[in-house]
Amino acid sequence: MTLSRRDFLVTTSFALGTVAHAFGQNTAAPPAPPQTSFDPLRGSVGVFSGRGGTIGMLVAPDGVVVVDTQFQDTAAIALSNLRQWTPRTIDFVINTHHHGDHTSGNIVFRPAAAKIVAHRNVPALQKTQAAGAKTDAQQAYADTTFDTAWSEKVGGETVALKYYGPGHTSGDSVVTFQNANIVHMGDLLFYLRNPRVDRAAGASIKNWIVLLETVSKEHPADTIYIAGHSKVNHPFTVTRADVLKFRDYFAGLLAYVQKGIASGRSAAEIVKVVGVPGFSEYEGSPEGTIQAAYEELTAKA
Ligand SMILES: [Zn+2]
Question: Each residue of 157-198: pLDDT tens digit?
Answer: 999 999 999 999 999 999 999 999 999 999 999 999 999 999
Per-residue pLDDT tens for 82-110?
A: 999 999 999 999 999 999 999 999 999 99
Q: Under 8 Å CB-to-CB from 28, ≥6 apart: which residues?
A: none
Report the alpha-carbon distance of residue 1 to residue 14 in Å, rounded: 21
**Strand arrangement of the beta sheet that strand 237-238 belongs to:** 149-154, 157-163, 173-177, 182-184, 224-226, 237-238
Query: How far is the centre of ligand 1, averaged over its atoms, from the C-alpha of 106 (Å)?
Result: 15
**Residue 55 scores a pLDDT above 70:** yes
Query: How far is the centre of ligand 1, averaged over its atoms, from the C-alpha of 204 (Å)?
Result: 13
Amino acid letter, 225:
Y
Under the banding of pLDDT at 50, 70 and 90, the label for residue 25 is very low
Report the alpha-carbon distance of residue 190 to residue 132 in Å, rounded: 25
Q: What is the pLDDT of residue 8?
A: 45
Query: How far is the centre of ligand 1, averaged over its atoms, from the C-alpha of 197 (Å)?
Result: 8
Query: How far is the centre of ligand 1, averaged over its atoms, from the C-alpha of 23 (Å)?
Result: 32
Report the alpha-carbon distance of residue 5 to residue 41 in Å, rounded: 10
Query: How far is the centre of ligand 1, averaged over its atoms, from the C-alpha of 195 (Å)?
Result: 9
Query: How far is the centre of ligand 1, averaged over its atoms, from the C-alpha of 25 (Å)?
Result: 37
Q: Under 8 Å CB-to-CB from 63, ≥6 apart: which residues?
A: 44, 88, 91, 154, 155, 156, 157
Q: Under 8 Å CB-to-CB from 233, ≥6 apart: which residues?
A: none
Query: How far is the centre of ligand 1, averaged over its atoms, from the C-alpha of 47 (Å)?
Result: 17
Q: For residue 70, with 0-12 CB atoms within 10 Å meaning exposed, 13-18 middle and 19 or more buried, which class applies? A: buried
Query: How far is the centre of ligand 1, averaged over its atoms, from the C-alpha of 13 (Å)?
Result: 29
Per-residue pLDDT tens for 237-286?
A: 999 999 999 999 999 999 999 999 999 999 999 999 999 999 999 999 99
Q: What is the pLDDT of residue 11?
A: 43
Q: What percent of the chain has pLDDT over 90?
A: 88
Query: How far is the centre of ligand 1, averaged over its atoms, from the C-alpha of 6 (Å)?
Result: 30
Query: How far is the centre of ligand 1, averaged over its atoms, from the C-alpha of 297 (Å)?
Result: 21
Helix axes 205-218, 287-298, angle to 10 degrees: 100
Query: How far is the centre of ligand 1, averaged over its atoms, from the C-alpha of 187 (Å)?
Result: 5
CA dihedral (103, 289, 189, 258) positive or negative:
negative
**Residue 224 scores a pLDDT above 70:** yes
